[in-house]
Amino acid sequence: MQCAKVVDNVPKDTSNLRMERLNQLVHILRSGGGHSKRELMEKLEYNSDKTFSRDLELLRDRFAVEIIYDRHKNMYKCTNAGEFLLRLSLPEDEVTALASGLKMARHFLPHLSPAADALWLKISAFLPKGLLARGEELGRQTVVALPVSEMDHAVFRRLTEAIWKKEPLRVSYSSPYRENKEKERVIFPWGVYFQSHAWYLWAGSPEYKDGATWRISRIKNIRTECTAWLDAPEGLSAESYAGSAWFAHPGELKYAVRLRIFRPLAPIVAETIWHPTQKIEVQSDGSIVYSANVPDLEEVARWAMSCAPYIEVLAPKELRERMLALGEDICKRHGGHSDETEA
């Protein structure tokens, strides 16, 4: 298998053979809970205790590698590689993963594109041309034309900084579901996540102590708020919180949804994970019964309307009624001829 070698600029007075041994030593010390002197000397074929001690001294003094010796266990371990840049062997799959990940970063976080390009340029300088071309080609094929809503990159950076620092903020927020103007509110940013073509902020507030969701593209005028910090609910993370959502709105899984989906849409729906709680029952006629527990019915209703006429809501009753209301709205809009149709 073709591998890429990523190496550091080694001091001129250090032989390649010794740098190879030092590289292996740091690799071993950074893995596992600890290693005895005898184990290290056997693995790296040291001929003397002095050579082993000199290598440890070089790593500690020249490269600031934090190597600790546990006298009770008689073991060495490395807690920090310091300034020692490990030489890595990168198989094709790892190069592809790196190229794909950087491609995704450019797509989903456009403001990081310059940083992603700079990182790839630095790494690619050490990659064989064949491996580099393969990784870039597969990386280009990884990201599909998935839409990403525009947002103020300065706002995104400010929010992620506040998450890290646990800094309360006062922001202005506008919602398309309200006719009133922007509303100011105090928030406690806990995390961000990407869902259904947009970035969202998960945060607490005086009104929502257990957390709520705000679309980042609608947040403006961020200012530091001098108030006590509110922690996120214990045991909950942005990832677990967002995982409850059908699309964008997470929360308590209080609605048991059952949908009958007919061909040709049935196999298409069945091959996708729409929600972590989903269950699929294949019917004799080729249709499926899809069930899941969700926090919000409105998102499911809009999704189901996009699947018409190949879908029927079986439960709950509230979702059937919402579908009927949306269907009536569609009939009203399409019952007559529009000016453009007549023209």
Give residue-wise pLDDT tens across range 42-61.
Answer: 989 998 999 999 999 998 88
Pick from 210, 238, 266: which residue ends a domain?
238
pLDDT at 338 exceeding the cut of 90:
no
Q: Say if 339 falls within a structural domain.
A: no
How many domains, in total, are found in the chain?
4
Residue 301 lies in a domain: yes
Provide DSSP, 7-27: -----TTS-HHHHHHHHHHHH
Instruction: Report the alpha-carbon distance of residue 160 to residue 261 in Å, rounded.
Output: 40
**75 and 95 housed in the same domain:** no
For residue 278, what is the domain's CATH number? 3.30.70
- Rounded to 5 degrees, what are φ and ψ at 77? -150, 155
Does the pLDDT of residue 251 top 50, yes or no?
yes
| Max Cα–Cα distance, the chain, nearest Å | 94
Residues 134 and 187 in one domain: no
What average pLDDT does the segment 116-145 reach? Answer: 72
Residue at 243 is within a domain: no
Position 242 pLDDT exceeds 80: no
Average pLDDT over residues 99-127: 82
Cα–Cα distance for residue pair 171/224, rounded to 1 Å: 9
18 neighbors 59 (Cβ within 8 angstroms): no
Give 78's pLDDT tier (boundaries 50, 70, 90). Answer: confident
- Residue 227 has a pLDDT of 94
- Report the CATH number that the domain containing residue 36 is assigned in CATH: 1.10.10.10
Position 107 scores a pLDDT of 81
Residue 256 pLDDT grade (very low, low, confident, very high; cuts 50, 70, 90) = very high
Q: What angle do CA 135, 139, 141 make, to 5 degrees?
A: 125
What pLDDT was estimated at residue 144? 59
Residues 285-318: tens digit of each pLDDT: 999 999 999 988 988 998 899 888 899 999 999 9
Percent of the chain whose pLDDT exceeds 90: 34
Would you place residue 3 in the very low, low, confident or very high pLDDT band (cuts 50, 70, 90)? very low
Sign of CA dihedral 210, 212, 216, 218: negative
Q: What is the mean pLDDT of residues 143-172?
A: 87
**In angstroms, how far is the first alpha carbon of the chain from the final one?**
65
The domain boundary residue, chosen from 26, 52, 80 = 80
**Confidence at residue 10, expressed as pLDDT on a 0 to 100 scale:** 44
pTM value surpassing 0.75: no
Distance CA 243, CA 72 (A): 44
Are 185 and 202 a contacting pair, CB within 8 Å? no
Which positions ≥6 away from 85 have C-beta within 8 Å? 6, 7, 8
pLDDT, residue 342, reads 52
8 Å CB contact between 187 and 168: yes
Inside any domain, residue 250: no
Domain holding 99, by residue range, is 91-142
Residue 339 in this model has a pLDDT that exceeds 80: no
pLDDT at 98: 81
Instruction: For residues 175 and 76, give the distance between their C-alpha atoms in angstroms, rounded to a whole number.
Output: 57
The residue from 41, 57, 80 where one domain ends is 80
pLDDT per position as a tens digit, 215-234? 999 999 999 999 999 999 88
| 259 and 330 housed in the same domain | yes
Contact 219, 155 (CB under 8 A): yes
CA distances 301 to 17, 71, 258, 316, Å, are 66, 64, 12, 11
- Count other C-beta atoms under 10 Å from residue 10's C-beta: 16
List, in sequence order, every residue forming a beta bridge with 69; answer none if it has no partner: 76
Contact 194, 108 (CB under 8 A): yes
